[in-house]
Structure 1
Amino acid sequence: MDPRLVSGVYSRVSGLPAPVSAHVRQERTVEDRIYRVSTDWTQTDLVRGSRLTFSQQWTVITEEDHSIRTVLPPGPAVPGSGELLKRVSPLRGLKAVVRETGGHQLLEVWDDHGLRRCVDLSVLNKHGRVYDDAQFGCLSWSDCENKLLYVAEKKNVSSGPDGVCSCVCVLVQQDRSVYCEDWGEALSNHSLPVLCVVDLHSGDVSVLQGVPPDVSPGQALWAPGGQGLFFIGWYHEPFRLGLKFCSNRSPDGSTLVFLQGRVFGPHNQCLSIQQMDLQTGTLSTLVDVVHRPQDGGFAGVYEALPSCCWSTDAHRIVFSSACRNWKVTNTTCSVYGSWKLLTVQDDLMVVCCSSPNTPPTLVRTDPFNQLIRIRTDELFYLFAVLTPSSLQNGTAPRPDWSDWAWRCSWVRTVRSYVHVGAFGVRCVSVVILLLCVLVFTVNYRGSTGFGQDAILSLIGRIGTQDVKDVQRAVLTALQTDSTLDPERLAVLGGSHGGFLSCHLIGQYPEFYRACAARNPVINAATLLGTSDIVDWRYTSVGLEYSYDRTPTADALGAMLERSPITHAAQVRAAVLLMLGGRDRRVSPHQGLEFYRALKSRGSTVRLLWFPEDGHSLSRVDTQADCFINTALWLQEHL
């Protein structure tokens, strides 16, 4: 196969833009309601080797009854250079932007006439870098729209070489060598966050006091009236645990809603929605944890609420959540694929919608029943999902696989793809394109979207239950479709998916001919001392975690017993390993351990090393390298 063909396919797929956020402004005329829909997009540029952001604006004209009359063509895309955070004020439509340029971080405020205010946060030197991540970061307008709230690194801590925090206090020289904890994978430059407020009249910046010293604040917003704040706090004593990908760490003017989940355990769990009456301080459960969803019913909450999620009457909350293989916002329109809500205003939703033959598409709906496509890029690709469709009684219910899939009759190669993370879900919104193959993505028991019982059923059964679920899925596909070739099977996966991939080729050595694994967990016992989520290493094998727990021979033995390394001697498949040198979640030495075990036995193995990348292998050049090498590896060995 010509590598140029592979590169061309990847370039086309990766270059498709995807909407990431939206804002709606209403303008009323005598006859119509006019809405300005401003959207932010991200797009991969292989020439620059970076991800670009741009914005576009649509005009939506509706009737008095909210029905959509027309959507006018958008203006040209406007690139967003250096933008870290952006937020539009609800009343005056002012746009606040935190931008990085020339080594400085600037806070800008724009109105309809141009730049209204610019504050150089770096020159003021009141704090360190502003946080722009989804875990801690925020940019919140006060009710009077004269103040902005955000989160930044505390002044006396800065990021040193290789992202390691180092003290810059000059009063005690030896403090420069004191180890400074951070928040793990992808948050290595986050250590001590502080809440900051900028006054747009005076340009003054103040760091707020009163946060408990053992709490790291984030995701802050103003309380009604601007006399107080709400924020999420993470305890960082006795030490920090990695937060990225782990949600288990953890409006109108009268009610506050927030998500609540169990501490420790699976990375992602079914959450409850709690509400607080701001007048009385009373807490109540709005939506409880769903343990076993009814057929076709609500499957629970598994991800963060959008920043704008209230209906006009403040009686309803709109959000997206996994429901089996789909991500849904409005189940009445699920025929369009998976939905992700970007924003809702005046009961009009702006949604990112995708399906197996449609990459992320921007759509606009009227009050929960009419859908208008705003922008779409058509691309056909092959995709199939096998997933447990029901749960039976017992602690480890058996799966009953769904019988639907998207396929082409001429495809004769099956490639099983195991989703990343022990507790996630592979929805039909994910683009998986590996040339002319049939790809099965298996939502084994433990995946989100099927209720809390399904998630917890995997605890203590990693390396067995999940492996057997994937294997049974592939066998089901082969038994169902006689055109598939059982002699041309490959398995792909990353992180826990890489763990499963390496298990499958070791436990079923004569079954798979090729494997491609990204940052796989290979030996849970040796990973214990190097991972930023040490709690999961205990929980995954059914052991209770506490901060003061130290390893025992029995615990390490249980971890080793459930690890792919124990089956390395049986591997016959050709193995491609892709490792990030800066991975804090799964040490790259895990993959190196597997590489050496296979190499010493003369097995076919290749290792790709990306020294500047972390666990997600998310750099643009890394993703392109991984895709092309994976496609060529499978072509060579299948």
Structure 2
Amino acid sequence: MQHLLRRMSTATTSAAEYDVKALLTLKDLYGDLAQIPLPSQGRIDKKTGDDLIKVTTTWDNRAMQLNMPTRQQRVSLIGSKGPEVTDRYLMTSVSLPLCNYENQRSTYSHSNSRVAQLLTTGKGDDRKQYLKIYNLDEHVEELCTDLTTQKKHGIIHGGGCLPFGCLHFSYGEGHVMYVAERLAKASQYFDADIEWDNETKVFESKVGKKFELLESWGEQNQEVKRPVICTVDRSSGQVTVYDQIPSHISPCYAKWAPEDSGIVFFGLEEGDTPRLGRIYCNNRKGSVYYYDIKSGELTKISEGDISAEDLQFSPDGNTLVWFQRAADGPHQAVLEMVAIDWPMKGTVEKRVVVPIVTEKRSANEFQGFSFPQTVARSWSADSKRLILSTAWCSKLELISVNVATGEIEKLSNNGICLGSWSLLDVVDDEILATVSAPNRPPNVLLGRLPESGKAEEMVWVRIDEAKAIDSRRHLFEFSWEFVNFERDGATYEGILMIPNEGNNLPMVVNPHGGPHGASWAVWPRRDLTTLLNSGYAVLQVNFRGSVGFGDDFIRSHGGFLVSHLIGQYPGFYKSCVALNPVVNVATMHDITDIPEWCFFEGTGEMADWTKTTTTEQREKMFVSSPMAHVENAVTPYLLLIGEKDLRVVPHYRAFIRSLKARGVPCKVLTYPPSNHPLDEVNVEADYSINMVRWFEKSLSK
């Protein structure tokens, strides 16, 4: 008997030790992936006639022990042995770790001689926000002002509050613009400081309004309610609030007008309809405005019910361009580029530079503007061409657009596909960009914009040392390719990533969310690279409804997400992990910040807020939901929930109850600090590792 007990004890210890070792290996794998630096910002410093180019880049990675993202700055000096781009070489590169502050945002002046930083310290009632201005020529701090104690406004909306947050130097560099919350102080009825014998003071105290609901702009913009444009004087540090702009207009994409005469912005307009979540949704109605600082006059520039984004002035100050679409339908749709001459003279004459592309085109043809991304400096030296990145099938491409003729030229992936590209900076026709692929982390490249009509002559050279990447090449041992599908007469494509070692590998199907989003041939998220390094192939599918294939393709959504698949194809998938999924559109309609999404995606109709949702409409929403098929589901199901998600507010209990009642293995991981993306450092690490463990457990049965 004692011999048998010893054998049982040894077996138990061995099994436990094996599990611990496997878990430790998985933990170390994720830790290695988290250390891979990813470029987030870049800037070119080049003096006219000088062969030397200084490039400053910011790189992000994750410090697991600190439970926070960390940053480093690299300064690279690029020399040249001749006149060609290929003659350039890296002379030296220096890296420096950066201190982190919450919602830190920075901006450079037009002369490149100053940099301003918005810093946030403390939390809750102890939160304070400062603006620092540093003179790069004199190497001295010119200003550090406490913006909070001036009590001119509420919280400043930094880099995380898209598209409201901004930080811009004026052309004359005497002021810095940002967006903050309007000061909203209200009293309670029994506050001791109310002067009841003074009607004016009582009115100004806003007594009784302290707990009045002010709706926010939703997911990840919970603190954005009544934003207002503000400026800081560089000399005195004093704040000016432009509260002449009506409070029912929420400014986005604010930019200084040439000669600092005023400010242009896209204003989201609050009318009789409920306020809807803005992030990820480029269909919110508003207008493009110009605010004249001297006269205080607000002029509407755009026409009709539109949604606009990314306003840009040409360097010569003669042209204002932006992207727009009709304020209808899907949350992401193809945009058109429009322009007006500046300064405005009399009637504003808008011209369409590049119209909306409706039909899906061949892979080598422009597919329309989807997720267009410009940077602070995006123009050619002659102010004729705008440089930007945009979705192009299952990639992100760099393109140039002639704003006079509408001619589009592709500057990336000409001749060979290197992956997806993102723009960092453009100065004097020098372009700084990043490129990555599913099996290659981002590299920073430098190129020179060729003459119009000669995009095929675009040459790129790598300017950063990749020692951190080179030492981790064992983490990139997988291959990738584009794959094409056809269903019901419609074609679509995906990206297949396969580890180089092993046979008969399990495959994870990873459809994107949205549903009007996309998967691109880029360096994948850490959860996916963890899977790939754990022996799983990964297939990303750009189903109908994805962006990057024309407007008609977006508006013909026919894709199904993971919770749908396990109910409609019971037993086909061996395991499922769902991240903040929609499981019941009808339930989501009542609690989300985007109820009109539920109407459009669930019924095909536009919401009419003057009418009650009918039984037939709710039935359509339910039928289009995974909940309608949950009784068929037999696949083990791991659910990942962000408790602060305002987009897909947690509504999973009925779905999970049904699975448990029928004995289907299921588990719920809930993350209290998280909203929709689940991108906090410890949260992403936890679900990435648990996802692999869940798949392994399911496949072992």
TM-score in terms of structure 2 length: 0.79
**1:552 & 1:446 partners in 2: Cα distance?**
26
Aligned residue runs from structure 1 range 74-113, under 5 A: 74-82=93-101, 84-102=104-122, 103-112=127-136, 113=139
Specify the alignment match of 2:54 in structure 1: 36
User: In the alignment, is the contact (CA less than 8 A) between 2:226 and 2:247 conserved in 1?
Assistant: no
User: In the alignment, is the contact (CA less than 8 A) between 1:385 and 1:440 conserved in 2?
Assistant: no
Please give the secondary structure, in 2, of the residue aligned with 1:362. Answer: strand
CA 1:268 to 1:384, structure 2 compared with 1: closer, same or farther past 3 Å? Answer: farther
**1:609 & 1:209 partners in 2: Cα distance?**
41
Aligned residue runs from structure 1 range 277-296, under 5 A: 277-279=341-343, 280=345, 281-292=348-359, 293-296=361-364
CA 1:402 to 1:502, structure 2 compared with 1: closer, same or farther past 3 Å? Answer: closer
User: In the alignment, is the contact (CA less than 8 A) between 2:389 and 2:422 conserved in 1?
Assistant: yes
CA 1:200 to 1:384, structure 2 compared with 1: closer, same or farther past 3 Å? Answer: same
Please give the secondary structure, in 1, of the residue aligned with 2:94. Answer: coil
Please give the secondary structure, in 1, of the residue aligned with 2:593. Answer: coil
Distance apart, 1:60 and its partner CA: 2.1
Pair 1:399 & 2:498 matched: no
TM-score in terms of structure 1 length: 0.87
User: In the alignment, is the contact (CA less than 8 A) between 1:290 and 1:451 conserved in 2?
Assistant: yes
Q: Structure 2: 5+ residue runs without aligned partners? A: 1-18, 187-202, 285-306, 308-313, 399-410, 451-457
Specify the alignment match of 1:123 in structure 2: 149
Specify the alignment match of 1:186 in structure 2: 220
Pair 1:625 & 2:686 matched: yes
User: After superposition, what is the alpha-carbon deviation per residue over 1:304-358, rounded to whole angstroms, capped at 9, x for unaligned?
Assistant: 3322211111111111111111111123445221101111111111112101221
What is the aligned-residue RMSD (CA, Å)? 2.3
Pair 1:21 & 2:41 matched: yes
State the AA in 2 paired with 1:310.
W
User: After superposition, what is the alpha-carbon deviation per residue over 1:541-576, rounded to whole angstroms, capped at 9, x for unaligned?
Assistant: 301223434311011000001111111111111100
User: In the alignment, is the contact (CA less than 8 A) between 1:268 and 1:448 conserved in 2?
Assistant: yes
Specify the alignment match of 2:181 in structure 1: 153
User: After superposition, what is the alpha-carbon deviation per residue over 1:176-199, rounded to whole angstroms, capped at 9, x for unaligned?
Assistant: 221121010111111000000111
Specify the alignment match of 1:504 in structure 2: 565
CA 1:634 to 1:523, structure 2 compared with 1: closer, same or farther past 3 Å? Answer: same
Distance apart, 1:381 and its partner CA: 4.8
User: In the alignment, is the contact (CA less than 8 A) between 1:197 and 1:205 conserved in 2?
Assistant: yes
Identity of aligned residues (%): 29
State the AA in 2 paired with 1:380.
F
**2:253 & 2:564 partners in 1: Cα distance?**
38
Specify the alignment match of 2:191 in structure 1: none
Distance apart, 1:404 and its partner CA: 7.3
User: In the alignment, is the contact (CA less than 8 A) between 1:154 and 1:192 conserved in 2?
Assistant: yes
CA 1:316 to 1:532, structure 2 compared with 1: closer, same or farther past 3 Å? Answer: same
**1:411 & 1:300 partners in 2: Cα distance?**
40
User: In the alignment, is the contact (CA less than 8 A) between 2:105 and 2:167 conserved in 1?
Assistant: yes
Pair 1:454 & 2:553 matched: yes
**1:25 & 1:295 partners in 2: Cα distance?**
36
State the AA in 1 paired with 2:536.
V
**Residue correspondences, number:** 584
Specify the alignment match of 2:511 in structure 1: 418
State the AA in 2 paired with 1:61.
G
**1:137 & 1:389 partners in 2: Cα distance?**
40
Specify the alignment match of 1:559 in structure 2: 621
Specify the alignment match of 1:269 in structure 2: 333
**2:580 & 2:495 partners in 1: Cα distance?**
31
Please give the secondary structure, in 2, of the residue aligned with 1:526. Answer: helix
Distance apart, 1:387 and its partner CA: 5.9
- Of the three residues 272, 275, 278, the one matched with 1:243 is 278
CA 1:289 to 1:387, structure 2 compared with 1: closer, same or farther past 3 Å? Answer: farther
Aligned residue runs from structure 1 range 373-522, under 5 A: 373-375=462-464, 376=466, 377=469, 378=473, 379-382=475-478, 384=480, 398-399=490-491, 401=493, 408=500, 410-412=502-504, 413-431=506-524, 432-433=528-529, 434=531, 435-458=534-557, 465-467=558-560, 500-522=561-583
- Of the three residues 572, 586, 602, the one matched with 2:648 is 586
Specify the alignment match of 1:462 in structure 2: none
User: In the alignment, is the contact (CA less than 8 A) between 2:396 and 2:421 conserved in 1?
Assistant: yes
- Of the three residues 64, 70, 85, the one matched with 1:46 is 64
Distance apart, 1:141 and its partner CA: 1.2
Please give the secondary structure, in 1, of the residue aligned with 2:417. Answer: helix
Pair 1:320 & 2:389 matched: yes
**2:83 & 2:183 partners in 1: Cα distance?**
52
Q: Which has the larger radius of gyration?
A: 2
Distance apart, 1:64 and its partner CA: 7.8
Pair 1:533 & 2:594 matched: yes
- Of the three residues 423, 432, 441, the one matched with 1:359 is 441
Q: Structure 1: 5+ residue runs without aligned partners? A: 159-168, 459-464, 468-499
Specify the alignment match of 1:141 in structure 2: 169
CA 1:503 to 1:307, structure 2 compared with 1: closer, same or farther past 3 Å? Answer: same
State the AA in 2 paired with 1:122.
T
Please give the secondary structure, in 2, of the residue aligned with 1:418. Answer: coil
State the AA in 2 paired with 1:70.
Y
